[in-house]
Amino acid sequence: MKIEQALTSLVIQAIRSLYNSTVESKSIVFQKTNAEYEGDLTIVVFPFLKISKKSPEVTAKEIGAYLQANSPEVEHFSVVKGFLNLVISGQYWFDYFTKVAENTGYAFVPVTDSSPTVMLEYSSPNTNKPLHLGHIRNNLLGYSVAEILKVNGNKVIKANLVNDRGIHICKSMLAWKKWGNGETPESAGIKGDHLVGKYYVEFDKNLKSQISNLKSQGLSEEEAEKKAPFMLEVQEMLRKWEAGDAEVVGLWKMMNSWVYKGFDETYKMLGVDFDKMYYESDTYLLGKKMIDEGLSKNVFNRGADGSVFIDLTPDGLDKKILLRSDGTSVYMTQDMGTAVERFKEFPELSKLIYTVGNEQDYHFKVLFLVLKKLGYKWAESCYHLSYGMVELPEGKMKSREGKVVDADDLIKEMIDTARETTMELGKTEGLELHEAEKLYHAIGLGALKYFILKVDPKKKMLFNPKESIDFNGHTGPFVQYTYARIQSVLRKGGSVVGSRLSVVGINRKEKNLIKIIYDFPGVVQDAGREYNPGVIANYVYELSKEYNQFYHDITILKEENADLRNFRLALSAKVAEVIRSGMNLLGIEVPEKM
């Protein structure tokens, strides 16, 4: 039983004994004691004042005295205004540590046959360009949340919906057809996704030239874009694709195959994977089947031009087109159909989570509301994991103009920076060349992942590669170095796994580490409930920081008392295990040597 649970029962007894009254357990709130005061847990006594009919200070003193008298865990207490600060005995913390010391899964909920099933969609790239920095945040966030949900006792299906069709895909195809001269990834020595992205940018550049010429002839921007020959050609190419034209479909398959191979390389570098792949070319017509359903239920309306829409103005939204007048579907229609198909394919789904940037907040509000109005009860189980955009010190990215931070280039830059920094600090001495290269990769990717995931997903973030690789700051390399430092201590100190720990008196530094270890299960639960890997990232940083203070101030290997030495080695090993577990949930590798 956790100490908070035991103390909750005791507070209820105290109020019954002291004031002849009862309180509900939910009114008893524990907080971490403010660092400037002595204590481990703090109880807020203000909710009890109506019962005690006494001042906050007197009420807190009376309850504190009762707890101290009736609980061996409460060593002593102090009162600061209406806050009762409790000091929990060192014996309690030592006993807790001995229970979890060799229990590697103490913070995790095991998955069973009856565990809920969650589908988490992330990545969702377009096949007209390589992945960029924005995709990196999406992939890292989605993957990490999936891993966190697993250890919270969920069966997780990691899904990727690839946007492999549409006007934007045809733009790259048309540009390659016009100016590619048969170029392939092999002949150009370029990754396939980069090659296709090059032609997407080329199309935009030439289209802008045509629009500029038409505007000089007196057309408006909108008219010029509609009448530009390249735009008319690309629309015709899309029409042919949808009609199954063999030449266009063949070109589409060839260029998409280049992109998929490139994506797979990037995903492997990032360390993310998927259990289920969906393709827009397979799903874009699914929602059209739902149009008649919505019309028959009077949920949808047909416009005078033949289009179909839903009027959501009574719900504080607007009128949303679901089928254009020419009979073509929109993204909303596709997403409706795809959601229905997913719940048909996996009827056991308890949650469907979409990892998509916050510029699509409105889209998902509409999607979930439409599904609810159509009578799908599971619509309540759909959730938009919305996250803020990633910006650079120089501003926003623009794909069509080629002004993006390419994911592959960024990964390479991070590894190169890690190599340079690590060599300067002399942290690769004694390592073989292949070991050093593996270390640079782990540090570079760890820095990237940690810097992105430590930020609350809801917040927009500014990514600065140089700040992310710092062995002394709030960074991935700092946490990685702490883990490697502990492994060095353990190699020198010998294994203590399986050895019985004797009772020792613990000091404040040791107690602080155990308290942080004690918090890990709650941190994992909070991260899962909030879909926020930042909770884990900031936790492992605080644990690493506390261990480094412990390492600096406390003797470990040279401790002459054998029991105390073994305890400190066991404590170090547990800290390392928790760091490794936390970093694994972020998709970050922790090196054994550094």
> What sign has the CA pseudo-torsion 418, 424, 425, 428?
positive
**How far apart are alpha carbons 198 and 201 in whole angstroms?**
5
Residue 396: predicted pLDDT: 45
**How buried is residue 82: exposed, middle or buried, by Cβ count under 10 Å (0-12/13-18/19+)?**
middle
Residue 432: predicted pLDDT: 85
- Encoded amino acid at 286, one letter: L
**How buried is residue 312: exposed, middle or buried, by Cβ count under 10 Å (0-12/13-18/19+)?**
middle
Identify the residue whose tokens are 């289920």. 276
What are the tokens at 171? 């733009």
Describe the chain by its helix, strand, coil percentages, rounded to 5.
Answer: 60, 15, 30
- Encoded amino acid at 556, one letter: I
| CATH superfamily of domain region 3-88 | Arginyl tRNA synthetase N-terminal domain (3.30.1360.70)
Find out whether 271 and 139 touch, Cβ atoms under 8 Å: no
Residue 497: predicted pLDDT: 62
Among the listed residues 104, 115, 114, 125, the one whose alpha carbon sits nearest the alpha carbon of residue 156: 115
Residue 398: predicted pLDDT: 44
| Order of all β-strands in the sheet with 117-121 | 276-279, 155-162, 117-121, 349-357, 382-387
Find out whether 205 and 141 touch, Cβ atoms under 8 Å: no
Question: Which element (helix H / strand E) includes 88?
Answer: strand 83-88
Helices (H), 71-189: 90-100, 133-151, 167-179, 185-188
Extents of the domains making up the chain: 3-88, 166-271, 407-585
Among the listed residues 69, 8, 53, 60, the one whose alpha carbon sits nearest the alpha carbon of residue 37: 60
Among the listed residues 141, 249, 123, 273, the one whose alpha carbon sits nearest the alpha carbon of residue 193: 123
What are the tokens at 291? 């149009």
Q: What are phi and psi of 391, to 5 degrees?
A: -120, 160
**How far apart are alpha carbons 49 and 56 in whole angstroms?**
7
**How far apart are alpha carbons 344 and 342 in whole angstroms?**
5
Among the listed residues 482, 585, 588, the one whose alpha carbon sits nearest the alpha carbon of residue 541: 482
Segment-wise mean pLDDT, segments of 10 residues, the chain, 594 residues: 92 96 93 92 94 95 97 96 94 94 94 97 96 94 98 98 94 97 96 96 95 92 92 94 96 98 97 96 89 94 94 96 87 93 97 97 97 96 95 55 75 91 80 89 96 95 82 92 96 76 87 97 98 98 98 95 93 97 98 91
Tell me how crowded residue 165 is: count the other CB atoms within 10 A of its CB: 22
Residue 112: predicted pLDDT: 96
Q: Which residues of 382-413 are buried (b: 16+ CB within 10 A; e: fewer)?
A: bbbbbbbebbeeeeebebbebebbbbbebbeb
Residue 391: predicted pLDDT: 80
Among the listed residues 150, 188, 14, the one whose alpha carbon sits nearest the alpha carbon of residue 587: 150
From first CA to last CA, the distance across the chain in angstroms is 38
- Encoded amino acid at 33, one letter: T
If one looks up domain 407-585 in CATH, what number appears?
Answer: 1.10.730.10
Distances (CA, A) of 568 to 488, 489, 492, 550: 14, 10, 13, 10
Q: Which residues of 191-221 are buried (b: 16+ CB within 10 A; e: fewer)?
A: bbbbbbbbbbbbbbebbbebbeebeeeebee
Among the listed residues 592, 584, 594, 509, the one whose alpha carbon sits nearest the alpha carbon of residue 553: 509
Q: How would you classify residue 96: left for phi > 0, otherwise alpha for psi between -120 and 50, otherwise beta?
A: alpha
Question: Which element (helix H / strand E) includes 106?
Answer: none
pTM, 2 dp:
0.93
**How far apart are alpha carbons 338 and 342 in whole angstroms?**
6
Residue 403: predicted pLDDT: 57
Tell me how crowded residue 378 is: count the other CB atoms within 10 A of its CB: 17
Q: What are phi and psi of 161, to 5 degrees?
A: -105, 110
> What sign has the CA pseudo-torsion 371, 373, 375, 381?
positive
Among the listed residues 21, 331, 289, the one whose alpha carbon sits nearest the alpha carbon of residue 166: 331
Q: How would you classify residue 150: left for phi > 0, otherwise alpha for psi between -120 and 50, otherwise beta?
A: alpha
Query: Matching CATH topology for 3-88 and 407-585?
Result: no
**How far apart are alpha carbons 59 and 49 in whole angstroms?**
7
Helices (H), 390-507: 407-424, 433-453, 465-468, 476-493
**How far apart are alpha carbons 585 and 589 in whole angstroms?**
10
Find out whether 355 and 136 touch, Cβ atoms under 8 Å: no
Long-range CB contact pairs, 52-56, < 8 A, 24+: 52/15, 52/18, 52/19, 53/19, 56/81, 56/82
Q: What are phi and psi of 315, to 5 degrees?
A: -95, 10
The two beta strands, 74-80 and 30-32, are unpaired
Identify the residue whose tokens are 């993006």. 404
The HSE-up count of residue 202 (CA atoms within 13 Å, CB side) is 18
The two beta strands, 349-357 and 382-387, are parallel
Residue 500: predicted pLDDT: 76
